[in-house]
Structure 1
Amino acid sequence: MSGPRVLVTGATGFVGEAVVFRLLLDKKFTPVAAVRASTRLSGLCRVVPFDLDLDLPTALPVLEGVAVVIHCAARVHVMSETAVDSLAAFRKANVEGTVRLARRAAESGVKRFIFISSIKVNGESTGRNMPFKATDLPAPIDPYGVSKHEAEIALRQISLETGMEVVVIRPPLVYGPGVKANFLSMMRWLDRGVPLPLGAIDNQRSLVALGNLTDLVVACIDSPAAAGQVFLVSDGEDLSTTQLLRRMAFALGKVARLLPVPVGLLRVVASMMGKSGVVERLCGSLQVDIRHTREVLGWHPPVSAERALRQAADHYRDKQTR
């Protein structure tokens, strides 16, 4: 394998592993997987240990000879927080850990640092047909979004001080083969025919297929136009929660059993149960405008939402039959 060496952190994660496999498939770059645990990537590419724990300063990977770092590793957003001070925990990994890695990268001669951030830097929701733009003033609300925003600020400063190019990518919800968390729960409900009170939701949500995100990441590795940019990414097609459930059910070969419960009633019941945040994520809109990404890079999402949902469904069914 030849080509510039590209180190991917979080290479055992959902996004990081997909990026490594994409690099292996393209054969244009030489991927190096930075991981915290054993991985099926062993034997396919060089694997180096990596940990974001600030108490383990020797855990940073050796970066000599690496041209580009793609930083996917992070303390991710969780629904059930266990840390006493969640913001401090997010800052430790997502800000301080990122800064340590970026400074090591700059000192080692890395030319470009690609940071997988989050649309939560822009905020939690949008008005209908009022999408987030890359030029919007950041307005993060939860600790995860705040930590990603602070990391972006720190990376821009490091870039100014060292000349290392920084590229920021802010994805919304990422889905695809092997997706976990709420998206996986949704597939399980649909597969089992569970009736869901989500048949009357007329919101608009931007999502990004794993294949589209990895395609953009790879496009940012050597594009001169990407340096110093913030890119929003999506499938280029927004769906309501109801539409998403119906399409996912179709991909699974099932019929979505959706009850047309009014959104107002859902909000009242959720408030009584202390689950207002869950209902807002299901009923609210979050749209992103990817025109800047398209125009600067000449990029377009290569995978349709229909195809991506089918890929996720096929992977899910394959797992169920094993």
Structure 2
Amino acid sequence: MKSKHFIGFTGGSGFIGSALLLNSEFNKYNLKVFVRTRMPLNEHLFVHSKLEPSFDYGDAFDNVKTFIHIAARVHVMKEIVDDPLSDCLSINTLATLNLARQAAAAGVKRFIFISSVKVNGESSDIGNPFRFNDVHKPVDPYGISKSEAELALHRLALDTEMELVIIRPTLVYGPGVKANFASLMNLVSKGIPLPFGCITQNKRSLVSVTNLVDLIITCIDHPKAANQTFLVSDDHDVSTSEIVHEMAKALDKPSMQLPIPIWCYKLAGKIFNKSDVVERLTGSLQVDISHTKQTLGWKPPQTLQEGFKQTAQAFLQAKTK
């Protein structure tokens, strides 16, 4: 039976939001989808909206019990604007706060904010993963804007009766994923030798979109989620070499990796001014999700291997079309 109240959310046309809309458990709720343009899903109530610092949402929050904010100005590798920090702060901080203020004023009980592990920082030391209560150490415009949004939302929650839930995903992958994960999977699918054989000592935390969606749904009603920050991953950290091996296995391709020393990567990074790219490839970014699991009694329903297989199947299907 559907709830008497609505669950509102932004980002329905994005990677995470699309996966959320496809989830059968999520579709048991009455949904208000906040979008700029109407989407072809007539069973839900669509609200025309814009993610802008001064946008007036009018009565859009009427009867909304919980609101999930996913939409954002995303992180991109190659910025095309002159001032990416100002652009990120406008959308990810000021517009988010505007949205949350109007939600609180309308009586929304819980605001779930999908933030980012970039609030914690860009890299972690081996054996010293990021934790939910670490001091914020964002580096790039996207991470800074998400950090500022979290701080502003905490202040708003203290001044209102609206509960705040913050979820910080690591790198999210799954069917339809784009960017670096898709590029690497495309390389692996060719079955050619790749130069990652020596990158075995770093550790990366990833999260399948299936696991992230499951956590978001858990946080809609869970009483212990109120005013908490949760890190989320597959709870299975892997090196770059292991990522390539798991991708190859999921794609049913050979995993041939050449033992190129890491110092070669670092030298190339300095020569071509790509040290940040090399650091992402050879460095570590781990998160400790024990607080998430213990507080909510939650564990990722999908293994990393299952997530890679699901992603690989979607990748191969898209390639044949």
How would you bin the TM-score normalised by the shorter chain? over 0.9
Of 83, 96, 99, the match for 2:97: 99
Alignment map for 1:1-322 (pairs within 5 Å): 2-3=2-3, 4-22=5-23, 24-40=24-40, 42-54=41-53, 57-58=55-56, 62-201=60-199, 202-322=201-321
Deviations 1:18-77 (A, max 9, x none): 12222x44554222222223434x22422222221336x246781111111100000010
User: Which sections of structure 1, spanning at least 5 residues, go unmatched?
Assistant: none
The answer to whether the 8 A contact 2:11-2:71 is kept is yes
Deviations 1:228-258 (A, max 9, x none): 1000011011000100111011101111332
Q: Secondary structure at the match of 1:170?
A: strand
Q: Return the letter of the residue paired with 2:270.
A: S
| Larger displacement relative to structure 2 (269-278 or 303-312) | 269-278
Q: RMSD value over aligned CA atoms?
A: 1.5
Q: Return the letter of the residue paired with 1:232.
A: L
Q: What is the rounded CA distance, in whole Å, between the counterparts of 2:145 and 2:115 in structure 1?
A: 9
Following TM superposition, by how much is the alpha carbon of 1:259 offset from its aligned partner in structure 2, in angstroms? 1.5
Q: Structure 2 length normalisation: TM-score?
A: 0.96
Q: What is the rounded CA distance, in whole Å, between the counterparts of 2:56 and 2:288 in structure 1?
A: 40
Q: Secondary structure at the match of 2:22?
A: helix
| CA shift in 2, pair 1:285/1:60, >3 Å | farther
| CA shift in 2, pair 1:285/1:107, >3 Å | same
The answer to whether the 8 A contact 1:49-1:61 is kept is no
Q: What is the rounded CA distance, in whole Å, between the counterparts of 2:217 and 2:319 in structure 1?
A: 31
Q: What is the rounded CA distance, in whole Å, between the counterparts of 2:197 and 2:168 in structure 1?
A: 29
Q: What is the rounded CA distance, in whole Å, between the counterparts of 2:273 and 2:190 in structure 1?
A: 26
Deviations 1:101-124 (A, max 9, x none): 001101111000000000010111
Percent of aligned pairs with the same amino acid:
46
| CA shift in 2, pair 1:245/1:44, >3 Å | farther
| CA shift in 2, pair 1:85/1:60, >3 Å | farther
The answer to whether the 8 A contact 1:10-1:36 is kept is no
Q: What is the rounded CA distance, in whole Å, between the counterparts of 2:280 and 2:57 in structure 1?
A: 36
Q: Return the letter of the residue paired with 2:189.
A: D
| CA shift in 2, pair 1:2/1:129, >3 Å | same
The answer to whether the 8 A contact 2:57-2:102 is kept is no
Q: What is the rounded CA distance, in whole Å, between the counterparts of 1:60 and 1:152 in structure 2?
A: 24
| Larger displacement relative to structure 2 (203-212 or 248-257) | 248-257
Q: What is the rounded CA distance, in whole Å, between the counterparts of 1:37 and 1:199 in structure 2?
A: 46
Deviations 1:171-218 (A, max 9, x none): 110001111111111111111234422121021000001111011101
Q: What is the rounded CA distance, in whole Å, between the counterparts of 1:61 and 1:276 in structure 2?
A: 49
Q: What is the rounded CA distance, in whole Å, between the counterparts of 2:150 and 2:52 in structure 1?
A: 19
The answer to whether the 8 A contact 2:38-2:46 is kept is no
